[in-house]
Amino acid sequence: MSKKNVTVVGSGNWGMAIATIIAGNTARHPEFTDDLTVWMFDEEVQHKGVKRKLSEVFNETKENVKYLPGITLPPHVKAEPDIKKAVANADILIWVLPHQFVARTVQNMGPVKQGAVSVSLIKGGLELEGGKLGLCSDLLRKLLGHEVAVLMGANVANEVAAGEFCEATLGIQSEDHKDMLVKLFDCQTFRVNAVNDIPGVELCGALKNVVALGAGFCDGLDYGGNTKAALIRIGLQEMKTFIRYFYPNVKDATFLESCGVADLITTCFGGRNRKCAEAFIRGKGAKGWDTIEKELLGGQKLQGTLTAQEIWPVMQKHNLIDKLPLFSTIYGIAFEDKAPWTIVKLPQGMPVSAFHKDDGFFEDKDKSK
Which active-site residues does the annotation give?
A: 208
> Can you tell me the distance from the alpha carbon of 277 to that of 191, in angstroms, rounded to the nearest whole number?
30
Encode burial over 8-47: b for 16+ CB neighbours within 10 A, e otherwise.
bbbbbbbbbbbbbbbbbbbeeeebbbebbbbbbeeeebeb
Q: What is the CA radius of gyration of the chain?
A: 21
Instruction: Specify which residues 36 forms β-bridges with.
Output: 6, 77
